[in-house]
Chain A
Amino acid sequence: MKKEIIIAIVFGVLLGLVVAVLMVLRVRQSGEQNKIPTENQVTPKVMTKNSQLQPLEITSPAANSITDKDTITIKGKALKDSLIVVESPIKDLAVKNSKEDFSISFPLSLGENIISITSYPKDAKLNLQSNTLRVYYLTE
């Protein structure tokens, strides 16, 4: 076989390969463009106004914790300028938190203390937030 024929065959095969690869890539691209979106992109995510703001957070004491003292300090975070109402069977307390962080000294009675902490935001359009805590004042 002549040398020119071999070169022509090799060249033809290579050209064929390049064309085939280009066609496959193009088909893939057009396939992706025609794909129907299946993810929830149509409906925008619904977010409540409160969800973007500082939620009521109790950092201390831990739920169901035991203490041998008759007073605890409730620490946490709430929306700035909200009214924080702390309620238990023996005491009610209301404070306005000028900062996001709050620290409230609260009395305990012997045994189980169920304490409700509610934050009323300054903006009446926002929802109140509430958290219930159980703390045990035990002396033995």
Chain B
Amino acid sequence: MKNKILAFLILISLLFTGFAYAQSSSSAELHEAETLKDKIASKVAELQHNDQRAVAGSITDISQTAIKIKDSKEITYNVKLDKDLTKVFIIKSRDKSEAKISDLKKGDYIIVSGPIDNKNVTANSIYKDEQFFIGSGKITEINSSAFYIRALTTEKDTYTLDTETFTKKFMLNAKTLEVETTTLSKIKEGDTIHFVYKKTGEEREKNRYSVQKVLIIPQEYFIK
């Protein structure tokens, strides 16, 4: 009888030991799985943060579920929309306001952020923005009565830049290298010009734009 009780006790203790081991091993596995999950999540977040890119271009085609845009290099991207998830904003005067997909139309310049797979973008957010262009060259002509500047770029393109009342004019101080405001009368042929313009689609002639901003580097800087 004693032997039977002893055998029974050994069996019970073995059973509990096994159960306890199973418990501890499963909790250890659970902990490992949690750690792995956290690691993967942080790695994904890190990769997303490091590889945050956007594409921008003019809308060539639009529907409620997709948009086609063409960027400055003439590359077409297919933008997938989700009416519940895709957020749309309009940027105006350095501020943004919320909008709807229906507020966008053909020809609008938009920035799309979201996962990019080759030429396909799943839009998380879309920003309607203004498209600016930048150029530089040597001044070949200044017309003070018609208020325009002609410049020849390094690519041998001639630009006619109409200075408007809103045009901001800056000049580099050759001595201090400070950027100072200037007037058309102080700008000379032979100076280097950096300019910013917008395309309106109503340009009078090829490469003629109302210039937003000019920065002049006087030839004196290069002579000294």
Contact = CB atoms under 8 A, between A and B. Distances in A.
B213 A64 contact: no
Contacts of B222: 120, 124
B36 interface: no
Nearest to B128: A111
**B interface SS class:** strand
A53 interface: no
Interface stretch (B62-70, B99-107, B132-140): B132-140
Interface string A106-137: 00011110111010100010011010101010
Interface string A77-97: 000000101011100111110
Interface centre among A111, A120, A124, A134 (most CB of B within 10 A): A111
B146 interface: no
B194 A111 contact: no
Chain B interface residue bracket vs A: 35 or more
Given A111-B129, A120-B222, A66 B212 contact: no
B148 interface: no
Contacts of B47: none
B217 interface: yes
Interface stretch (B8-16, B22-30, B53-61, B201-209): B53-61
Given A66-B113, A110-B91, A111-B91, A136 B56 contact: yes
A109 B55 CA distance: 17
Given A66-B52, A92-B213, A127-B154, 6 more contacts: A83-B221, A94-B177, A112-B129, A136-B54, A138-B127, A140-B124
